[in-house]
Amino acid sequence: MSTRSIKKVHPAIAAHMPGLSTWRAMPTQHVEWLDPFLFLNHHGPDIFRPGNRGLPFGPHPHRGFETLTYILEGELVHEDTTGYKSRITEGGVQWMTAGSGLLHSETSSEEFLREGGAIEIIQLWLNLPSKLKMTPPAYSGMQSEDLVHLNPVDGVKLHLISGEIYGSQGPYSSITNLTMTWLEMDSESQVHLPAPGNHQVLFYVVRGKVNVNGAEVEMRNIVEFNIEDGDIDVSASEDALILYGHGEPFNEPIAAHGPFVMNTYDEINQAVADYQAGKMGVWKE
């Protein structure tokens, strides 16, 4: 089986927030996006002291895309104007379809504010094609036990969220047919990851050091592969944690402004007007 060639390895850049270490893998001066993957922020790892202020992501709007949030350590409390509310803990994920628009917050529980603890969270923005930009908002919070956990080879744990891999199907049904996972690899382990030739691959090294298709890749780096036939071979020289997924590019124009991602700037202007008019919901304290 052939392996897919690498176009470039891109380092995440420091984009720290008050009280929260943050590394941005996309967009940066190195890579704008990897269609259909738009944005990747890596928060932490950090230790919050007792009596802290918690995560800083208060109510804000989104339209035109989805968010997939991995809670690698700690917890995340989600609330939005469609009525969803959940507290997802370590090993779980949140998948939100912003679609036509909503307001949401991602904060910490009263227990975490009081007692503190470790935090490491990654958020991806997943584009929607023009035909789905205005789809109704939706949310799914999945704890670790809700995911499908696989051991494809010795020393490798793969956590499947959506799509199909190794004959298993993930619990979440992606409206754009994305396959999304994350992997834990012991040092000296090896794994073969399949990917359709017409799909864009997302491969981000959260922790550790790996060799992927002949390239040495360290933590906080995202790998840009060419879209071509060929799979992904990974060997870990240290204990490693990797985000791995793939999806078909939309090859559509992207107009992005703050929390809105559409196809034209007229649509962005309409999103701003709709938000200001309360059409994405009104936050109730």
* Known binding-site positions for Fe cation: 60, 62, 104, 106
* Binding site, annotated residues: 60, 62, 104, 106
Rg (CA), the chain: 18
Tokens representing 111 are 């227990």
Token pair recorded at residue 31: 């890579």
Cis peptide preceding 50, ω within 30 of 0: no
Nearest one of 240, 248, 132 to 189, comparing CA atoms: 240
Separation CA 217–CA 209 (nearest Å): 6
Under 8 Å between Cβ of 23 and 220: yes
C-alpha count within 13 angstroms, C-beta hemisphere, residue 189:
20
Cα distance between residue 144 and residue 148, in whole Å: 9
SS3 at position 257: strand
Alpha carbon separation from 189 to 67, 91, 185, 233, 238 (Å, rounded): 31, 21, 6, 11, 9
Coil, helix or strand at residue 278: coil
